[in-house]
């Protein structure tokens, strides 16, 4: 459940989900959560994914 604060400001979980490897874990959003301070931008462009969990793996899917 997200709070009003999480709908406005970036939380650590929101930010970390952007750096997750794959959307298969249902936590990562590598093609979303681009905002740095306000999650409103991601909400406006449909790229917001709100989560309270952190991805298990960070980085690129096909990292050489």
Predicted confidence (pLDDT) per residue in 2-52, tens digit: 688 888 898 888 888 888 888 878 888 888 888 888 988 899 999 988 888
CA distances from 5 to 11, 20, 25, 39 (A): 9, 22, 25, 10
**What's the structural domain count of the chain?**
1
**Residue 62 pLDDT more than 80?**
no
Q: Quick one: pLDDT at residue 44?
A: 93
Domain extent for 21: 4-45
Q: Quick one: pLDDT at residue 43?
A: 92
Looking at the domain assignment, is residue 55 inside a domain? no
In the structure, what pLDDT confidence band is assigned to residue 64 with cuts at 50, 70 and 90?
low
Looking at the domain assignment, is residue 53 inside a domain? no
Looking at the domain assignment, is residue 59 inside a domain? no
The CA distance from 20 to 30, in Å, is: 6
Looking at the domain assignment, is residue 14 inside a domain? yes
Looking at the domain assignment, is residue 58 inside a domain? no
């Amino acid at each position: 459940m997200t709070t009003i604060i999480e709908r406005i400001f970036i939380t650590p979980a929101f930010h970390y989900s952007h750096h997750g490897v794959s959307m298969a874990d249902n936590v990562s959003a590598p093609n979303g959560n681009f905002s740095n301070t306000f999650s409103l931008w991601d909400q406006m462009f449909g790229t917001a994914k709100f989560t309270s969990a952190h991805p298990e793996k960070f980085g690129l899917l096909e990292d050489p």
